[in-house]
Amino acid sequence: MSGNFRHPPKLANWVVEHFLPASERPFLNGDFDEIYNDIFDEKGHGAAFRWYWAQIARSLPQIFFQYLSWSVIMFKNYLKTTLRNLQRHKGYSLLNIAGLAVGMACFVLILLYVRYEFSYEENNHQASHVYHIYVEHTKTDEIYRVRSTPVPLVEALHDEVPGIESYTRIDSFPKTLVSAENKKFYETGMVCVDPGVFDVFGFRLLLGDKKTALEKVNTAVVTEQIAEKYFGKENPVGKNLVLGSSLPIMVTGVIINHPPNTDIDPDILVSFKTAEELSGEDYTNNWLSQVLQSYILVPGEDSIENLEDKIEACFSKYRAKEGDDRILRVERLSRIHLFSVFGEGNFRTIQIFLGVGFLILLTACINFMNLATARSAGRAREVGMRKVVGARRKQLITQFLGESFISAVLSLVLALMLVAALIPAVKNITGQAIRFDQIGQPAIMLGLLGALILTGLLSGSYPALFLSAFQPAPVLRGMVKSGKKGAGFRKILVVSQFCISIILIISTFIFTRQIHFMRNKSLGFTRDQIVVVQNQGRTLRNVEPLKQALKENPNILSVTSSMMLPHRISMYNDVTWEGAPADENIAIQHNTVDYDFLETFQIPLIAGRNFSPDIPSDKRGATRDPKNAGNIILNEEAVKRFGWENPIGRKVIQVFGELRITYTVIGVVRDFHYSSLKNPIGPLKIFLNNRSPLGYISVRIKPQNVQETLAFMEKEWQQINTGYPFEHYFYDSVFERQYQSEKSLQTLFGYFSFLAVFIACLGLFGLASFAAERRTKEVGIRKVFGASSREVVFLLTKDFSKWVLLANIIAWPVAFYAMSRWLGGFAYHIDILRNWHVFFVSGVLALVIAWITVGYQAAKAAVNNPVNSLRNE
C-alpha cells in the first residue's frame, strides 16, 4: 500500500464497527481498510468507495443475521439469569414485584383520572373553536366576572362580526314540572336555546331536522332518556310535553344522550322563540340585562385577544353611554372544565394527583434499588466470573437493567390486574365514569410506556452501575462484604421513602381537619331542622296562604320564602352610597326575602330593625319614585365598605346604567357566609318582596315528630298547590355536597398515603430481613455473652429508627409549605401552626409502623438459638 492512509466511508465503517462480531472485527476491519487504500491508490476514490460499499452490501445479511443471533442468545441468557435469581430469592423477588406493582397501579389509576378530566368536551370536535362569552368589570380595583350576558348580544355579533359562523344562547329554566300522558316529573335540565345549538355543541339528532327542529315557538328537542321516560318506545316527534300546568311544547327531535364527560348536558331543549314569546320585547331587546349564557362558533384561527376586540367594538354600539363599564371576554369551551376563569377548574387537583402518583411510583422504585444493592454481595461472584471470562461493564449494565425491566414488566401485568379490581372503588369516590378499556387510549398507553421505562431505569440504574463496577480479583478473594458499599445510599433511599410517606400522612390529616372545619364552622345562620321546598317554576304565586296554614302546626317554628338560600347568594348589582367619592361604586350581592327570613334562619340583627308588615315602605319598589324605592338591610361588611359609623337611615343608590335607584337602610345583620368558605364574606344587601313568588320556601321545625310534621306539610301543599308534587329536602344535606370535591380529595389521599406507607414497609421489611440475616453470627455471639432478646431487638431496630426520625425532620417543612399553599385557596381555614400536633402524630405513626415492620424480623432473629446460628456460620 503506497501513499497516505485513507479512512473508508464513515457510515460504512460504522456498520462494520457496530454489527460485526467482536471476535472478527479487528481482522475484517483491518483487511477492509487495507484493500480500500490499495484500490484508492490504483483506481481512485470513486472505485474504492464503490468497492467498500459493495463488500458491506454483500456481507450485510450475514452481519445482521449474526448480530440478531447474538442478541437473541444474550437475551435468553439474561432472561434465564433473571428467572433463576427471582426463583432463588423468592421472598425478596415477591417484595420487589409487589412494591412495584402497587406503585404502578396507583400511577395507572391516576393516569386514568387525569385522562378523563382532559377528555371533557371531546365529543364536540369543534370545542376548541367554541367560545363562551362572559362579562368582566372592575370596581375599586376588584375584578368581577359574570357568566351571563345581555339577551340580544350574540344575535348582533353574528350579524355584525365577521367569522362568527353560528351561535346559541342558553337560558336555563328553574326546576319545572313536566308532564305527558299521565306521567309527571320535575326536571332540572331544561333550557331555551337557539337553532345553532347543534352546530355549536355538536349535538347529534336521531330524529328530526336540525335546521327546523327549533325554529318555531313552543317546540323542543329532547334526549333519548327523556323521550323514553315520557313516551316509552313510541316515536315522540309530534307529541306534546306540558311545562308547568298549561304550556304545551311539541317534541320536534331527539338527540343522543350526552356522554358523562361534558358540562353541557341539557335534557330538554326548548326553542328560544318560546322564551321571546313568553317574555316580550323587554326581554329580547334589553342590553342591560344579564340573564343567560352566550356561546359562539368561530371556525377561524383568530386569537382570543383579537376576537375580544371585535366583540367589544360591536358591543360598544349598544351599551349604555354612561356608567356602563362592562367588558366582554371569551374563554374556549375546551378549556372551561379545567381552566375556567371563574376558578372552578380541576387543574390544581390534577397537578396534586400527578405529583402524588409520581411520588408513589418513586417510592416503589426505591424499594427495588434498596433490596438490589443490599443483596449485592450475593451476586458479586457472578459479576467477578463474568468479567474473568471477558464480559465488559457495558454488558453487565445491560444485563442488570434487563433484569430490572423484566421485573417492571411482571409488575405492570400485576398492576393492571389491581387496576381492574380497584376501578369501581375509584369511580365511587370521584364520580367519574372511568373504565378499564380506556387504558387502550393512546395517551394512556404512552403514559404506561413512559412509566415502564421510568420504572425500569430508576429501579435498575443504581444496582446496574454499582454491581458492574466490582473488580474480579477482590470479589473472587471474598473481599467484598455484604452490601457495605451501598449502605450509605440505602440509608438515603429509606429516608426518601419515609419522607414521601410522612408528607402524604400529614396531608391526609390536614385535609381531614380542614373539611371537618368547613362542615362544622358556624356560618352565621342555622341549617339544622330546616325543611326546604322549592317553589318549582314559582307555580305557587302567593306563598302567604301556605305560610299561615303551616304556622298552625305547633311543630313548625317559622316559615319563610326567599329568592335564594343563605348559603348561596350569587346575584349582585352595582351600588354607590351616601358619602361615597364621586363616580365610585362597588358590586354588592343581594337577596330578596319576605318578613320571616331572618327569624327562620336565626340571622342576628345587630342594629336597626327587621322588615315589618306594618310599614309599606319596606317593600322593594313600594313607590315608583327611584329616589325612594324602599328599604333594605345590610350586612356588617357592607357598612364597613361604605365607611359608615351610623348606617341606619343612610342611603344606598343602585346603579343601573344611567338609572339611579335609592334605598334607605333600616337594619344591619351580623356577617354570615353566603358563599363557600373559599371566598371571603363580601358586602350584602337584602330586599323585601312578598308580592312576587320566590324560589324557595324554608320551614324550621322541631326535632320531635318529624315524619308527622312532613306529612302535615305535604297535605297543606297539595290543598293549596294542587297538581304539583311535594318535593323537599333537609337544608343541612346541602352542606354535605358543597365540599364533595375536597372530601373526595381527602379520601383518595388517605388511600394513597396508606399505599405509600405499605410500599415503604415492604422495602423496610426486606432490608430488615436482610440485616438480620447478615448479622446472624453477631446476634449469636451477643446472646452467648448474655444479651437479652430485648437488647438484640433494640440493636437491630436502632439504625432504622434513626432513618425514620431523619425523614421526619426533612418531611415536616416540605409538608408545611405544601399544605399552607393548599389552605391558601380557602378564605377561611384552620391555622396550620395550631395543628402542630398533626406533624408530631404523623411522625410517631411512621416510626411505630417502622418499628412494627423491623421489629418482626428483629424478634425472629432474637429468639433463634445461638448454637444454631453459630453452627451455620
SS3 readout for 42-69:
HHCHHHHHHHHHHHHHHHHHHHHHHHHH
Q: Would the pLDDT of 613 be above 60?
A: yes
Question: Mean pLDDT of all residues in the chain?
Answer: 82
Instruction: Report which of 48, 17, 45 is spatially closest to residue 35, judged by C-alpha positions.
Output: 48
Reported as a single tens digit per residue, the pLDDT across 572-581 is 788 889 988 8
Is-contact 579 675, C-beta < 8 A?
no
Residue 284 has pLDDT above 90, yes or no: no
Residue 1's pLDDT band, with cuts at 50, 70 and 90, is: very low
Asked if residues 338 and 120 have their Cβ atoms less than 8 Å apart, the reply is yes
Q: How far apart are CA 297 and CA 157, in angstroms?
A: 11
Question: Residue 416: what pLDDT?
Answer: 92
Tell me the pLDDT band of 508, cut-offs 50, 70 and 90: confident
Task: Note down the domain range covering 46.
Answer: 10-71
Please give the pLDDT value at position 21. 56
Same domain assignment for residues 802 and 756: yes
Q: Which amino acid, 535?
A: N
**Percentage of residues of the chain with pLDDT beyond 70:** 81
Per cent of the chain over pLDDT 90 is 28
pLDDT value of residue 770: 62
User: Which grid cell sits at 720?
Assistant: 293549596
Q: Which of these ranges, 62-71, 131-140, 191-200, has the smallest mean pLDDT?
A: 62-71
First and final CA of the chain: distance in angstroms? 67
Please state the rounded mean pLDDT for residues 668-697.
86
Question: Any bridge partners for residue 221, and if so which?
Answer: 253, 269
Both 444 and 328 in one domain: the answer is no
- pLDDT band (50, 70, 90) for residue 318: confident
Answer with the one of 697, 723, 749 that is the final residue of a domain.
723
Residues 601 and 631 in one domain: yes
Among the candidates 723, 749, 769, a domain finishes at 723
Condensed to tens digits (0 to 9), the pLDDT of residues 628-647 reads 888 999 999 999 999 999 99
Q: State residue 246 phi and psi, 5-degree precision.
A: -150, 5
How is 239-266 classified by DSSP, letter by letter?
Answer: -EEEETTTEEEEEEEEEPPPPSS-S---
Banded pLDDT at 483 (limits 50, 70, 90):
very low
Query: Are 691 and 774 in the same domain?
Result: no
DSSP 701: E
The mean pLDDT of 498-526, rounded to a whole number, is 87
| Residue 614: strand, helix, or coil | coil
Tell me what pLDDT residue 152 has: 92
Q: Which residue has the higher pLDDT, 99 or 799?
A: 99
Q: pLDDT tens for residues 829-865? A: 999 998 888 999 988 888 888 787 777 666 666 666 5
Regarding whether 717 and 577 lie in a shared domain, the answer is yes
Contact 801, 469 (CB under 8 A): no
Same domain for 492 and 563, yes or no, is no
Cell numbers representing residue 126 in the block: 369543534
pLDDT digits (tens, 9 = 90+) for 83-92: 777 677 676 6
Rounded to an integer, the average pLDDT of 602-625 is: 87
pLDDT exceeds 50 at position 298:
yes
Which of 108, 112, 759, 102 has the alpha carbon at shortest distance from 414? 102
Q: Is residue 451 part of a domain?
A: yes
Q: Is the pLDDT of residue 294 over 50?
A: yes
Tell whether the model's pLDDT for residue 344 goes beyond 90. Answer: no
The pTM of the whole model exceeds 0.95: no
User: Torsions phi, psi of 137, nearest 5?
Assistant: -150, 160
The C-alpha cell at 739 is: 365540599
pLDDT for res 748: 80
Residues 614 and 670 in one domain: yes
| Mean pLDDT confidence for 210-230 | 93
Task: List, as one string, the DSSP characters of 447-495.
Answer: HHHHHHHHHHHHHHHHHHHHHHT--HHHHHTT-S-TT-TTHHHHHHHHH
pLDDT digits (tens, 9 = 90+) for 257-270: 999 989 999 999 99
Question: Of 339, 355, 376, at which residue does a domain stop?
Answer: 339
Query: How many whole angstroms separate alpha carbon 180 and alpha carbon 291?
Result: 29
Asked if the structure places residue 27 within a domain, the reply is: yes
Residue 80 lies in a domain: no
Q: What pLDDT was estimated at residue 744?
A: 78
Residues 515 and 555 placed together within one structural domain of the fold: no
Same domain, 44 and 24: yes
Amino acid at 3: G
**Residue type, position 673, single letter:** H
Both 363 and 450 in a single domain?
Answer: yes
In a domain, residue 599? The reply is: yes
The pLDDT of 272-287, averaged and rounded, is 86
Closest CA to 231 of 263, 185, 270: 185
* Residue 103 in domain: no
Same-domain pairing of 292 and 352: no
Higher pLDDT, 331 or 624: 331
Q: In Å, how far are 168, 307, 308, 311, 769 from 297, measured between CA atoms?
A: 9, 11, 14, 13, 65
How far apart (Å, rounded) are the C-alpha atoms in residues 668 and 850? 58
Statement: residue 565 has pLDDT above 60: yes
Can you tell me the distance from the alpha carbon of 790 to that of 730, in angstroms, rounded to the nearest whole number? 58
Q: Lowest mean pLDDT: which of 68-72, 412-416, 586-590, 723-727?
A: 68-72
How many helices (H) and strands (E) would you count in the chain? 27, 24
- Mean pLDDT, residues 795-817: 85
* Whole-angstrom distance, CA of residue 659 vs CA of residue 288: 11
Q: Give pLDDT tens digits for 11-48.
A: 767 766 666 555 555 555 566 677 777 777 777 777 87
- Structural domain includes residue 531: no
Whether residue 99 is contained in a domain is answered as no
Number of domains observed in the structure of the chain: 4
Amino acid type, 492: I
What's the pLDDT score for residue 868?
A: 58
Mean pLDDT, residues 743-769: 76
Beta carbons within 8 Å of 400's beta carbon, 6+ residues apart: 372, 460, 463, 464, 467, 468
Highest mean pLDDT range out of 2-6, 69-73, 89-93, 192-196?
192-196
Residue 476 pLDDT exceeds 90: no
**Any residues with CB less than 8 A from the CB of 524 and at least 6 apart, and which?**
603, 604, 670, 671, 672, 673
Q: Do 366 and 329 fall within a single domain? A: no
Query: How sure is the predictor about 511, in pLDDT bands with cuts at 50, 70 and 90?
Result: confident
- Give pLDDT, residue 28: 58
Segment 749-755 shows an average pLDDT of: 81
The total of other beta-carbon atoms located within 10 Å of residue 96's CB is: 28
In a domain, 93, yes or no: no
Nearest to 105 by CA among 363, 412, 399: 412
Which pLDDT band holds residue 66 (cuts at 50, 70, 90)?
A: low
Helix axes of 776-784 and 740-774: crossing angle, nearest 10 degrees: 70
58 versus 728: the higher-pLDDT residue is 728
**What is residue 2's predicted lDDT score, i.e. its pLDDT?**
47
Helix axes 347-374, 376-388, angle to 10 degrees: 70
